[in-house]
């Protein structure tokens, strides 16, 4: 960790940190937003950000009502950072949220508002006008006071509430697999500790250059990149998620143009870059500056990493830059991950033994085996253990169990939800009587101090006493027929006629929509896909796929970080609410 980064750990909160930047480094360009995802850019310095944040704080205080929480409803851009820091300056708990789609219902947003109880929402003037003109009156947003922060003039007066490390900074609402998100209470101290770990183990410094496209309302984009710029005192260049999804090459071209050293995303983004890359038109990239490419928030696939290296090594990308990582909102963000001087670690393990929660390492590509990627080393600043979720006993090395975490990065619990807080954040172990642990709900094991993730406890499919991880089955099914849209599939266990069955719900690939215009063609396509999927699952997993349901493109439910919501898909299946062909 650099001297400058070490200095930031002396600050207990983000308010003092920004004020330090504004006074000591007033002209430091902290954020540059690419409005078109390419060349058109707007920037803000540390001094400008502090002044605008003071203006937001002053406006909230002038209302005369003491706000405990405030909803942040911003389109991608610098205004979000201003609103977020304005909340912190005012001593108000920020609630980052996905902006509403005016032509769709807003049940998730309504749930967040009901749970957190804000009376004010910060936004931009254009979005405020859209909300007032188009939003359904039944939405709970319509009951909030809206404050357009981009209309406020920068404050010349000091408008900042005292702040401490144990003060809540924001509520990070978890994605919620069944549409009932919970607000993780993240303090300033949680943030400083967790970001300091990221800086130390990813070897970041004021010389770091960051490029980002991840949304600010999600922890990986907000903490892992946006706020890291403030901690490190370096510039972050970013674009909207839509700009990336429309043309993934924009991410790589921004890394090239700005010489980025630190950037990352979930696994699907690396897969998308490989699949959409056109050497004939996209070869003007140079990725040699990219020193740390983290991959997290969803299962990290060895095949994706290998293909990414093969595709982009000719353009300067170094395999040693890849940093598979693991984290979760309840742990603020980072749990494991590090910069290595050698390629990431992967293992091939016997699938049948893994189904029994045992790890038996085999040769690469051995029959009946599957690859697993290590998601970083276990760091000494927090305790990470593998625990048998049934017995509550510690697992041996290379034995699969639930991942438990304790340390200063672990959040205090869920907002207004003491029962869930007790269940998830207050786990006890006889071996560590003075500590309380976060139960992550994720399954994994430790080998040679590295953490491997195998799945989610609640998502595991158990048939005939064998554990099947849905992500493995989904990979097999999506590769079985080109009509299945990759990464848009959910598999789960259901009950039908007192029998446990295995169900796949998959989106139709856009290129096959022409075959669904007539019922006979749709039925034929469905039979083709089901037959191919059944054969593939039986061969690879010795398992019967009972049902496969093809649904309309763009209708499967995903979280804000791109994870498939399997339990919601199961609920829609059971309630017959899937948008079938």
CATH code of the domain covering residue 98:
3.40.50.12780
What per-residue confidence (pLDDT) applies to 178? 45
Q: With the C-alpha atoms ordered 44, 49, 55, 60, is the resulting torsion angle positive or negative?
A: positive
pLDDT at 465 over 80: no
Per the structure, the count of domains in the chain is 3
The token pair at 115 is: 């749970």
Considering the domain architecture, whether residues 115 and 16 belong to the same structural domain is answered as: yes
The token pair at 190 is: 């949680």
- Residue where a domain terminates, one of 214, 236, 261: 261
CB–CB of 199/5 below 8 Å?
yes
pLDDT at 483 over 50: yes
Categorize the per-residue pLDDT at 6 as very low, low, confident or very high, splitting at 50, 70 and 90: very low
Categorize the per-residue pLDDT at 233 as very low, low, confident or very high, splitting at 50, 70 and 90: very high
List, in sequence order, every beta strand (DSSP E) within 157-287: 168-173, 183-187, 210-212, 236-238, 262-265
CB–CB of 30/232 below 8 Å?
no
Q: CA–CA separation, 131 vs 154, rounded Å?
A: 25
**Per-residue DSSP letter, 399:** B
Which residue is associated with the tokens 């892992």? Answer: 224
What per-residue confidence (pLDDT) applies to 99? 82
Categorize the per-residue pLDDT at 498 as very low, low, confident or very high, splitting at 50, 70 and 90: low
CB–CB of 70/122 below 8 Å?
yes
Section 245-263 average pLDDT: 96
Phi then psi for 49, rounded to 5 degrees?
A: -65, -45
Categorize the per-residue pLDDT at 510 as very low, low, confident or very high, splitting at 50, 70 and 90: confident
Q: CA–CA separation, 125 vs 526, rounded Å?
A: 47
Among candidate residues 454, 475, 457, 500, the one with its CA nearest the CA of residue 353? 454
Give the lowest-confidence range in 1-5, 137-141, 296-300, 380-384.
Answer: 1-5
Considering the domain architecture, whether residues 119 and 104 belong to the same structural domain is answered as: yes
Tell me whether residue 450 is in a domain: yes
Q: CA–CA separation, 200 vs 366, rounded Å?
A: 37
The token pair at 297 is: 């928030």
**Residue-number span of the structural domain to which 195 is assigned:** 3-261
Q: CA–CA separation, 71 vs 68, rounded Å?
A: 10
pTM, two decimal places: 0.83
Section 483-512 average pLDDT: 87
pLDDT at 284 over 60: yes
Query: Which residues, other chains included, contact 378 with Cβ-Cβ below 8 Å and sequence gap of 6+?
Result: 336, 384, 446, 449, 450, 451
Categorize the per-residue pLDDT at 147 as very low, low, confident or very high, splitting at 50, 70 and 90: very high
Q: CA–CA separation, 21 vs 216, rounded Å?
A: 21
Burial (CB count <10 Å: 0-12, 13-18, 19+), residue 103: exposed
- Residue where a domain terminates, one of 406, 439, 459: 459
Q: How far is CA 519 from the centre of its chain?
A: 39
Considering the domain architecture, whether residues 410 and 513 belong to the same structural domain is answered as: no
pLDDT at 274 over 90: yes
**C-alpha dist (Å) from residue 420 to 144, 388, 412, 439, 580:** 27, 20, 12, 11, 34
Considering the domain architecture, whether residues 448 and 432 belong to the same structural domain is answered as: yes
Section 271-276 average pLDDT: 92
Which residue is associated with the tokens 């990493």? Answer: 305
Per DSSP bridges, beta strands 438-447 and 369-377 are: unpaired
Q: CA–CA separation, 562 vs 558, rounded Å?
A: 5
What per-residue confidence (pLDDT) applies to 63? 66
pLDDT at 339 over 60: yes
Q: Is the model more confident about 156 or about 441?
A: 441
Q: CA–CA separation, 543 vs 537, rounded Å?
A: 6
pLDDT at 304 over 80: yes
The token pair at 474 is: 């989904």
From the CA atom positions of the chain, what is the Rg in Å? 24
Q: CA–CA separation, 241 vs 257, rounded Å?
A: 18
Q: CA–CA separation, 21 vs 31, rounded Å?
A: 13
What per-residue confidence (pLDDT) applies to 3? 41
What is the percent of the chain with per-residue pLDDT over 70, rounded to a whole number? 94
Tell me whether residue 285 is in a domain: no
CB–CB of 344/373 below 8 Å?
yes
What per-residue confidence (pLDDT) applies to 103? 60
- Residue where a domain terminates, one of 459, 482, 507: 459
CA angle 212, 215, 320 (to 5 degrees): 40
pLDDT at 507 over 90: yes
What per-residue confidence (pLDDT) applies to 142? 79
What per-residue confidence (pLDDT) applies to 5? 43
Tell me whether residue 122 is in a domain: yes
Q: Is the model more confident about 209 or about 218?
A: 209
Considering the domain architecture, whether residues 241 and 375 belong to the same structural domain is answered as: no
Categorize the per-residue pLDDT at 462 as very low, low, confident or very high, splitting at 50, 70 and 90: confident
What per-residue confidence (pLDDT) applies to 2? 46
Q: Is the model more confident about 102 or about 373?
A: 373
Tell me whether residue 301 is in a domain: no
Tell me whether residue 273 is in a domain: no
Considering the domain architecture, whether residues 102 and 211 belong to the same structural domain is answered as: yes
Considering the domain architecture, whether residues 494 and 473 belong to the same structural domain is answered as: yes
| Residues 363-400 pLDDT 10s | 999 988 889 999 999 999 999 999 998 888 999 888 99
What per-residue confidence (pLDDT) applies to 489? 93
Considering the domain architecture, whether residues 196 and 125 belong to the same structural domain is answered as: yes
Considering the domain architecture, whether residues 387 and 414 belong to the same structural domain is answered as: yes
| Cβ neighbours of 316 (radius 10 Å) | 13
Section 415-421 average pLDDT: 94
Q: Is the model more confident about 366 or about 139?
A: 366
Considering the domain architecture, whether residues 465 and 391 belong to the same structural domain is answered as: no
CATH code of the domain covering residue 519:
3.30.300.30
First to last CA, the chain: 54
Tell me whether residue 305 is in a domain: no
Phi then psi for 300, rounded to 5 degrees?
A: -90, 120
Average pLDDT for the chain? 89
Considering the domain architecture, whether residues 145 and 35 belong to the same structural domain is answered as: yes
pLDDT at 466 over 80: no
pLDDT at 541 over 90: no
Section 507-514 average pLDDT: 85
**C-alpha dist (Å) from residue 399 to 279, 358, 386:** 44, 5, 8
Q: CA–CA separation, 1 vs 7, rounded Å?
A: 10
CATH code of the domain covering residue 383:
2.30.38.10
**C-alpha dist (Å) from residue 504 to 98, 493, 533, 535:** 28, 9, 9, 14
The DSSP H or E segment spanning 525 is: helix 519-541
Considering the domain architecture, whether residues 13 and 88 belong to the same structural domain is answered as: yes
Tell me whether residue 282 is in a domain: no
Tell me whether residue 185 is in a domain: yes
CB–CB of 263/255 below 8 Å?
yes
């Amino acid at each position: 960790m650099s001297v400058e980064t070490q200095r930031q750990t002396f600050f207990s909160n983000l308010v003092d940190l920004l004020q330090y930047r504004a006074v000591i480094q007033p002209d430091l360009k902290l954020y540059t937003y690419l409005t078109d995802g390419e060349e058109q850019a707007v920037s803000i310095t540390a001094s400008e950000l502090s002044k605008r944040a003071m203006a937001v704080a002053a406006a909230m205080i002038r209302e005369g009502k003491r706000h405990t929480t405030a909803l942040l409803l911003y389109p991608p851009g610098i205004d979000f950072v201003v609103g977020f820091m304005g909340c912190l300056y005012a001593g108000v708990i920020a609630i980052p949220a996905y902006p509403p789609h005016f032509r769709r219902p807003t049940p998730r947003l309504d749930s967040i508002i009901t749970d957190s109880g804000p009376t004010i929402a910060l936004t931009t003037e254009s979005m405020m006008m859209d909300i007032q003109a188009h939003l359904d009156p039944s939405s709970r947003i319509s009951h909030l006071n809206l404050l357009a922060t981009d209309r406020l003039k920068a404050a010349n007066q000091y408008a900042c509430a005292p702040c401490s490390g144990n003060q809540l900074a924001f509520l990070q609402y978890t994605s919620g697999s069944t549409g009932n998100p919970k607000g993780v209470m993240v303090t300033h101290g949680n943030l400083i500790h967790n970001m300091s770990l990221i800086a130390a183990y990813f070897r970041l410094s004021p010389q770091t250059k960051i490029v980002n496209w991840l949304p600010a309302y999600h922890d990986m984009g907000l903490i892992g990149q946006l706020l890291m710029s403030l901690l490190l005192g370096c510039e972050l260049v970013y674009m909207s998620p839509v700009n990336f999804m429309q043309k993934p090459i924009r991410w790589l071209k921004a890394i090239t143009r700005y010489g980025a050293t630190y950037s990352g995303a979930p696994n699907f983004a690396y897969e998308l870059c490989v699949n959409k890359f056109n050497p004939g038109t996209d070869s003007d990239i140079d990725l040699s500056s990219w020193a740390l490419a983290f991959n997290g928030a969803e299962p990290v696939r060895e095949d994706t990493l290998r293909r990414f290296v093969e595709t982009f090594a000719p353009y300067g990308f170094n395999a040693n830059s890849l940093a598979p990582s693991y984290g979760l909102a309840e742990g603020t963000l980072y749990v494991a991950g590090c910069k290595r001087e050698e390629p990431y670690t992967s293992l091939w393990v016997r699938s049948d033994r893994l189904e029994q929660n045992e790890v038996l390492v085999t040769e690469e590509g051995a029959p009946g085996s599957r690859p697993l990627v290590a998601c970083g080393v276990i760091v000494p600043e927090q305790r990470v253990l593998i625990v048998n979720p049934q017995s509550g006993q510690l697992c041996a090395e290379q034995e699969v169990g639930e991942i438990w975490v304790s340390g200063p990065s672990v959040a205090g619990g869920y907002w207004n939800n003491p029962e869930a807080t007790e269940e998830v954040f207050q786990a006890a172990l006889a071996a560590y009587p003075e500590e309380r642990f976060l139960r992550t709900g994720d399954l994994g094991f430790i080998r040679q101090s590295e953490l491997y993730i195998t799945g989610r406890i609640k998502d595991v499919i158990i048939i005939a006493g064998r554990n099947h991880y849905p992500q493995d089955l989904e990979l097999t099914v999506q590769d079985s027929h080109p009509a299945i849209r990759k990464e848009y599939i959910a598999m789960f266990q259901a009950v039908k006629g007192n029998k446990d069955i295995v169900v796949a719900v998959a989106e139709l690939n856009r290129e096959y929509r022409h075959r669904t215009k007539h019922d006979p063609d749709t039925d034929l396509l469905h039979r083709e896909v089901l037959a191919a999927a059944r054969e593939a699952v039986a061969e690879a997993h010795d398992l019967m796929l009972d049902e496969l349901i093809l649904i309309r493109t763009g209708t499967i439910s995903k979280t804000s970080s791109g994870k498939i919501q399997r339990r919601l898909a199961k609920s829609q299946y059971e309630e017959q609410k899937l948008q079938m062909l």
